[in-house]
């Protein structure tokens, strides 16, 4: 019994370390890229362009960056981008919930299309749900 627990613990620790490195390969580069962008004029352009729509959900314009990254790449990339910005706990909660509804659009839309669901319908539905959730959270938080 003790040997089984020991073996399971070792196996779990190995898998945990492997997973940490897999996620780190995504988070760390995105974090540095977004941090770099944050200190260049690019972030100001992003903020100006996306401010009106992000304001609807109580987020600053630069929060569009993690939203776009999370939608285009995956949830972990979005998290890395969130970490690189100076957002309040409320803003982090809103953008995180929005990304739960809408992330990895290219991959997941391709999967939906393979099973016969309209790709356009899925993208639009997920974006609408993300923004509805963001609006509701902005009101109640």
**pLDDT tens digits for range 102-116:** 999 988 888 888 888
Q: Is 22 inside any structural domain?
A: no
Q: Which domain holds residue 98?
A: 27-140
Contact 62, 55 (CB under 8 A): no
Q: Is 130 inside any structural domain?
A: yes
Q: Is 108 inside any structural domain?
A: yes
Write down the pTM of the prediction.
0.84
Q: Is 19 inside any structural domain?
A: no
**What's the confidence (pLDDT) of residue 112?**
86
Banded pLDDT at 42 (limits 50, 70, 90)? confident
**What's the confidence (pLDDT) of residue 77?**
92
Banded pLDDT at 37 (limits 50, 70, 90)? confident
Quote the CA–CA distance of 8 and 31 in Å, as a whole number.
33
- Record the tokens describing residue 19, joined without a space: 């997973």
Q: Is 8 inside any structural domain?
A: no
Report pLDDT digits (tens) over 45-54. 888 999 999 9
Quote the CA–CA distance of 42 and 48 in Å, as a whole number.
10
**What's the confidence (pLDDT) of residue 111?**
85
**What's the confidence (pLDDT) of residue 31?**
86
**What's the confidence (pLDDT) of residue 127?**
96
Q: Is 135 inside any structural domain?
A: yes
Quote the CA–CA distance of 27 and 84 in Å, as a whole number.
10
Q: Is 3 inside any structural domain?
A: no
Query: Into how many domains does the chain fold?
Result: 1
Q: Is 7 inside any structural domain?
A: no
């Amino acid at each position: 019994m003790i040997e089984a627990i020991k073996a399971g613990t070792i196996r779990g620790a190995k898998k945990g370390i492997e997973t940490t490195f897999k996620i780190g390969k995504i988070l760390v580069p995105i974090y540095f890229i977004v941090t770099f962008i944050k200190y260049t004029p690019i972030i100001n352009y992003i903020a100006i362009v996306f401010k009106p729509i992000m304001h609807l959900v109580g987020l600053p314009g630069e929060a569009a960056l993690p939203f776009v990254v999370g939608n285009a790449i995956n949830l972990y990339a979005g998290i890395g981008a969130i970490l690189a910005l100076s957002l309040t706990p409320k803003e982090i909660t809103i953008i995180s919930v929005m990304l739960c509804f809408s992330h990895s659009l290219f991959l997941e839309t391709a999967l939906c299309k393979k099973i016969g669901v309209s790709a356009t319908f899925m993208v639009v539905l997920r974006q609408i749900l993300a923004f509805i959730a963001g609006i509701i959270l902005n009101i109640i938080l």
